[in-house]
Structure 1
Amino acid sequence: MGKFSALLFLVTGVFFAAYTFLYGSSYYPNIVPAAFLDSIAINLDWANFGTLSFPIQVDNFLVFQEFHSTPPGFTLNESYLFGGIVFLVAVSVLALASTFKKNTFPDFRCSLDYSLDPHQFQRLKYWITQLKHAANNLDYRDFFYR
């Protein structure tokens, strides 16, 4: 089973890598330059008429450049393919889980009888009863209203 799952991962990885190499290059975000202008009024000279003085302003244009990333392309066929793969994997895992050996939960007390010596078993029983008494004496208000 271990070799099969490793081979399955390898084949799936090779498939997706080949698909990306052959068809997926146009779906990566493209970085495109974007330019915009901003004008700033600059004082070129002053015109003086007696006591009045007026600035002569000209527009100075600043060119800014930014880089924008365009969104990746979206195709419906790839979405359906990915959804189909996820569906097949989910159905396969559920079908495989139904073939597992069906064991009931073992009785914990019986397994302790055989795995512990009598002294250890008595100590464990003592601590379990102490925990039960502590749990019965807990007040939920101690936890919620602090």
Structure 2
Amino acid sequence: MATGRTINLKKKFLDPYSLSDNAVYSLCKDSEGGVWAGTFFGGVNYYSKQHAFFEKYYPDNSASSIGGSSVREICQDPFNNIWIGTEDAGLNKLDSRTGAITHFMPSGLPPISPIPISTDSWPTATVFGSGPSNTAWTSWT
């Protein structure tokens, strides 16, 4: 990106190396120069500076996936964790050191059980930024 060139990346059907959805809601450039793209129904796409393909994070109802596919906000905190706010399943924290994903409910606590198959009643989480002591400022609607 230091060249001043613009690259138009698009979803290509059945291409695992392309963007998962053309409707990109949010972008976040991390401390390593990679770009995180939150999409309307394609989850999160990570484009690292070192590779020419997207690493994708989808909800698949397992403990190691993000909750929600409609990603509204993404930000990185001072500890390099990636916070992902979704419209359909609350807030997620991706630990950049371990790759572990933690799901948070409006109470601020992780859910006790695995993510339910139906998330119609889950609130929308908007991530505004991060604060001291590894906290994230959010709004629930």
TM-score range, shorter chain: under 0.3
Larger gyration radius, structure 1 or structure 2: 1
Relative contact order, higher structure (CA 8 A, sep 6+): 1
Which structure has greater helix proportion? Answer: 1
After TM superposition, the score normalised by the length of structure 2 is 0.16
After TM superposition, the score normalised by the length of structure 1 is 0.16
